[in-house]
Structures are given as C-alpha cells and as structure tokens.
Amino acid sequence: MNLEWMAWTIPTAIFFITIALILISMTIWEVYSPTIERRGFLPLTTTRGDRLFIGLLGSAYIHLAWLGLSDLTIWFGFAIAFCWMVVVMRWG
C-alpha cells in the first residue's frame, strides 16, 4: 500500500501556526474585552471575530487570484492580502 502524505514545509507550518496564534489571541482578547457589534464599510453589522473571518476569507481569495492571474512573485499578493486584512479589521 502506497500512502502519500502532505509535504509539510517550513512556510506551510508557519502559515498554520500563525492562524492558530491569531485564533488563540482573538479568544483571549474576547475574554478580557468583550466585543460590541459595529457597522463599518461592510454592508452588515460585525464583531471582531466576524471581521477576522471575512478578512481571512478575502485574503485566501486574493492569494488564489494572484496565483492564477499573475506571474509576479507571491509576495506582492501577500502584501495586498495583508493590506486587505488590516482594512477589514480596522474599518470593516
């Protein structure tokens, strides 16, 4: 039987560890300072957790679009996705 496993590279590990640390940090922040719903430029009332989810989902789509539509380095896509995340978390 030939089982193939996912190749865990350093960048992959860093990615998943970062997501885990973000979720742990948001949980601790929520325990010490409960969020209130607010309305920003997004067309719905959101909490910090909602904005985090929307930001992460949007960042994933930005990365996929960058990989599919551009021949430039992924770091430009990362910069755009990071900016998107900051904007959504701050003003979303």
Residue ranges, the chain, pLDDT below 50: none
How many other C-beta atoms are found inside a 10 Å radius of the C-beta of residue 5?
A: 5
Per the domain annotation, does 60 fall within a domain? yes
Per the domain annotation, does 62 fall within a domain? yes
Q: Check residue 73 and give its pLDDT.
A: 86
Torsion sign, CA atoms 65, 81, 50, 40 = negative
Q: Check residue 28 and give its pLDDT.
A: 94
Q: Check residue 12 and give its pLDDT.
A: 77
Per the domain annotation, does 5 fall within a domain? no
Q: Residue 37 is part of which domain span? A: 10-91
Please tell me whether residue 28 adopts helix, strand or coil conformation: helix
Q: Check residue 74 and give its pLDDT.
A: 85
Per the domain annotation, does 1 fall within a domain? no
Q: How many domains does the chain have?
A: 1
Q: Check residue 21 and give its pLDDT.
A: 95
Per the domain annotation, does 22 fall within a domain? yes
HSE-up (13 A, CA, CB side) for residue 54 = 20
